[in-house]
């Protein structure tokens, strides 16, 4: 690895951002068990959600929970009007929070609506070790930067030790406004964006200076929409190793949560000590995404359906092959000037995997000609991936057949490809499949059984080496076998 690359090594913590595990059992006994699991998982603290308890005895239960917790405790007693489960007397609810503070809680979460009154009532009585988190939750949208700034000011004015606000992402670009508030905050701040489009706020807060994030013990058992598991934060995203200089990479798509790319890339980054993180990016409008996340912090992207063709127009420069195919699946931001460069590694990954599979099945070793030469090659779909496959297969000497739902798009695609490859006006034939359900089922079957992991490994290997070389101005070649081993 050349000296110009930015690497991290060892297990030393690179940021102060805490990981808090929400504890939401219906009984104290269950909560105690879960607090032990949270500690074993690496949590810095636990959020005890009192509003989920059945048969709640405040003094006795809180004493037990504080005594049995192996990590610091944050007590929350969330009312229905702020997204919680408590629907009783408001004065009794606030009294319980005061009691938790008196009995030794490390943190108390109080809603902005009642915070000033609460803080006035504990003035001169609050234990030194207890910090009050004043929170505000917006379940409809994410306000403007100006409105968020005003919200933070109101929370500070209410007497908060720690500011917390959570909004809802209608678009992934909403998260950028929260990052802007967080990174410039002069007080401890928790700024999170709920929902799948807001996932990066919960991961990248370690980079942008957030006080804490929430990580659950299990998938789906969440206290707010979009929370990742603590295992994913620590093991998948390498949360402790993130810092202000960490480069952000991700896979752009819709849908995108199913993608295994973060597993492969983050393991590859760790294996060579590269200071980067790879995340899921649920993007609705790719042009808007690139306009919003235009800093060099966001260094490289994989691109999947439905954005591969639209991504071409977003790039400042496009590789010759990608331009020929008309689709981009790998985008790199040049660090010297921020320009976006588009590449296509789809055809390399898919064709190489299929060639390997054919050689193994036919028991033939690699030679001068491709194992695809002269073979009938059926491509289902005329989108970005279909174009890449057809281009690669035809270049290898295969006879290509396109199956698509609409004839017009197939014809346009084939004319373009034929011209690009200086071949006949059309490829061998066009098959139009008009039944949508059949098309998708067949496409999934072929993708799962022919390309499967091989395609992904070839694709990731090519893209990883592009990411690393163009981001670090140094060269590390990671072979497919190395990525598979990690």
- Quick: pLDDT tens for 370-415: 888 888 888 877 777 788 888 888 889 898 887 777 766 656 655 5
Q: Model confidence at 212, in pLDDT bands (50, 70, 90)? A: very high
Q: Is 164 a catalytic residue?
A: yes
- Cβ-based neighbours of 440, under 8 Å, separated by 6 or more: none
Residues 157 and 159: their CA atoms lie apart, in Å, by 5
Non-local CB neighbours of 414 within 8 Å, separated by 6+ positions: 402, 426, 427, 430
The average pLDDT across 48-67 equals: 97
30 is catalytic: no
Catalytic residue among 34, 346, 394, 456: 346
322, 483 Cβ separation under 8 angstroms? no
Q: Is 50 exceeded by the pLDDT of residue 486?
A: no
Percent of the chain exceeding pLDDT 90 equals 65
Of the two residues 372 and 2, the one the predictor is more confident about is 372
How confident is the model over 214-230, as a mean pLDDT? 93
Q: For the chain, which residues make up each domain, given as ranges?
A: 18-243, 245-343, 367-442
245, pLDDT greater than 50: yes
Decide: 141 and 166 in contact? Cβ < 8 Å.
no
| Omega before residue 132 within 30° of 0, cis | no
324 compared with 103, residue with greater pLDDT: 103
Both tokens of 118, joined, read 């609460």
| Cβ atoms < 10 Å from Cβ of 124 | 4
Mean pLDDT of 284-292: 98
Q: Which residue has the higher pLDDT, 288 or 430?
A: 288
Select from 354, 365, 358, 356 the least CA-distant residue to 388: 354
Q: Is 295 left (phi over 0), alpha (psi -120 to 50) or beta?
A: beta
Instruction: Note the pLDDT of residue 347.
Output: 80
Note whether 118 and 75 are within 8 A (CB). no
Catalytic one among 126, 137, 207, 394?
Answer: 137
Q: With contact defined as beta carbons under 8 Å apart, do 309 and 329 qualify?
A: no
Per-residue pLDDT, 243: 96
Candidates 226, 251, 409; CA nearest to 328 is 251
Supply φ then ψ for residue 379, to 5 degrees.
-110, 125
Report whether 336 contacts 358 (CB < 8 A): no
pLDDT, mean of residues 417-430 = 42
Q: How many residues does the chain have?
A: 486
Q: Is the pLDDT of residue 479 over 60?
A: no
Q: What per-residue confidence (pLDDT) applies to 481?
A: 40
- Rounded-to-integer distance, Cα 214 and Cα 228, Å: 7
Closest CA to 336 of 300, 292, 291, 296: 296
Average pLDDT, the chain: 85
Are 152 and 178 contacting, i.e. CB atoms less than 8 angstroms apart? no
User: Does the pLDDT of residue 418 top 90, yes or no?
Assistant: no
Q: What angle do CA 307, 310, 316 make, to 5 degrees?
A: 120
Annotated active-site residue 137? The verdict is: yes
Do the domains spanning 18-243 and 245-343 agree at the CATH topology level? no
Segment 263-269 shows an average pLDDT of: 93
- For the ranges 4-18, 277-291, 344-358, 445-459, the lowest mean pLDDT is seen at 445-459
Q: Report pLDDT for 459.
A: 54
Assign residue 273 a region (left: φ > 0; alpha: ψ between -120 and 50; beta: otherwise): left
Q: How high is the pLDDT of residue 205?
A: 98
pLDDT at 4: 32
Residue 2 has pLDDT above 50, yes or no: no
Cβ neighbors of 376 (< 8 A, separation 6 or more) are 398, 399, 401, 428
Q: Would the pLDDT of 23 be above 80? A: yes
Q: Measure the CA–CA gap between 52 and 73, rounded to whole angstroms.
A: 16
Greater pLDDT, 433 or 251 = 251
Annotated catalytic residue within 308, 387, 394, 480: 308
What CATH number does the domain located at 18-243 have?
3.20.20.70
Annotation marks residue 106 as catalytic: no
- Please tell me the predicted confidence (pLDDT) of residue 409: 62
What percent of the chain is helix, strand and coil (3-state, nearest 5)?
45, 20, 35
Question: Does the pLDDT at position 441 exceed 80?
Answer: no
Residue 27 pLDDT grade (very low, low, confident, very high; cuts 50, 70, 90): very high
* Contact predicate 335/308, CB 8 Å: no
Give the pLDDT band of residue 76 (cuts 50, 70, 90): very high
For the domain spanning 245-343, the CATH number is 3.40.50.10860
Set 14, 126, 131, 164: catalytic member: 164
User: 119-123, 190-194, 364-368, 387-391: which range is least confident on average?
Assistant: 364-368
**Structural tokens at position 159:** 């007497």
| Residue 71: predicted pLDDT | 98
Whether residue 107 has pLDDT greater than 60: yes
Residue 278, phi then psi, degrees to nearest 5: -120, 125
CA 255 to chain centre: 12
Q: How confident is the model at residue 475 (pLDDT cuts 50, 70, 90)?
A: very low
Mean pLDDT along residues 157-178: 98
Instruction: Determine the pLDDT at residue 426.
Output: 34
Mark residue 15 as left, alpha or beta (left: phi above 0; alpha: psi -120 to 50; beta: remaining).
beta
* Mean pLDDT calculated for residue range 75-80: 98
Q: Mean pLDDT lowest for which of 118-127, 312-321, 354-363? A: 354-363
Q: Is the pLDDT of residue 281 over 80?
A: yes
């Amino acid at each position: 690895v050349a000296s110009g690359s930015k690497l991290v090594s060892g297990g030393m913590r690179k940021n102060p951002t805490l990981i808090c595990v929400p504890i939401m059992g219906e009984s104290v006994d269950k909560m105690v068990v879960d607090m032990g699991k949270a500690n074993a998982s690496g949590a810095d603290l636990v959020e005890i959600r009192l509003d989920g308890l059945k048969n709640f005895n405040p003094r006795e239960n809180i004493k037990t929970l504080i005594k049995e917790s192996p990590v610091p405790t944050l007590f929350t007693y969330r009312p229905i009007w702020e997204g919680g489960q408590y629907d009783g007397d408001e004065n009794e609810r606030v009294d319980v929070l005061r009691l938790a503070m008196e009995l030794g809680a490390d943190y108390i979460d109080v809603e902005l609506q009642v915070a000033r009154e609460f803080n006035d009532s504990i003035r001169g009585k609050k234990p030194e070790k207890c910090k009050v988190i004043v929170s505000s939750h917006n379940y409809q949208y994410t306000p403007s930067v100006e409105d968020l700034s005003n919200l933070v000011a109101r929370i500070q004015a209410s007497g908060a030790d720690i500011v917390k606000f959570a909004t809802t992402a209608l678009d992934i670009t909403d998260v950028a406004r929260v990052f802007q508030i967080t990174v410039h905050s002069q007080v401890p701040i928790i700024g999170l964006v709920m929902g799948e489009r807001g996932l990066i706020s919960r991961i990248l807060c370690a980079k942008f200076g957030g006080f804490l994030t929430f990580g659950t013990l299990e998938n789906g058992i969440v206290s707010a929409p979009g929370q990742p598991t603590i295992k994913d934060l620590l093991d998948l995203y390498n949360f402790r190793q993130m810092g202000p200089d960490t480069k952000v990479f991700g896979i752009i798509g819709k849908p995108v949560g199913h993608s295994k790319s973060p597993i492969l890339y983050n393991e590859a980054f760790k294996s060579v000590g590269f200071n980067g993180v790879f995340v899921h990016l649920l993007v609705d409008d790719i042009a808007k995404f690139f306009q919003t996340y235009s800093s060099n912090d966001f260094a490289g992207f994989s691109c999947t359906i439905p954005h591969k063709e639209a991504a071409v127009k977003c790039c400042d420069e496009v590789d010759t092959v990608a331009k020929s195919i008309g689709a981009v699946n790998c985008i790199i931001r040049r660090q010297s000037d921020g320009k976006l460069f588009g590449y296509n590694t789809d055809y390399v990954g898919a064709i190489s995997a299929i060639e390997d599979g054919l050689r193994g099945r036919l028991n033939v070793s690699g030679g001068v000609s491709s194992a695809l030469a002269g073979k009938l090659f059926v491509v289902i779909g005329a989108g970005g991936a279909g174009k890449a496959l057809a281009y690669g297969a035809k270049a290898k000497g295969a006879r290509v057949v396109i199956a698509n739902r609409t004839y017009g798009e197939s014809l346009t695609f084939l004319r373009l490809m034929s011209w690009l490859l200086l071949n006949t006006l059309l490829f061998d034939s066009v098959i139009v499949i008009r039944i949508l359900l059949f098309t998708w089922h067949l496409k999934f079957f072929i993708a799962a059984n022919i390309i499967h992991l091989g395609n992904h490994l070839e694709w990731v290997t090519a893209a990883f080496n592009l990411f690393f070389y163009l981001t670090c101005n140094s060269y590390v070649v990671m072979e497919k076998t190395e990525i598979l081993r990690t």
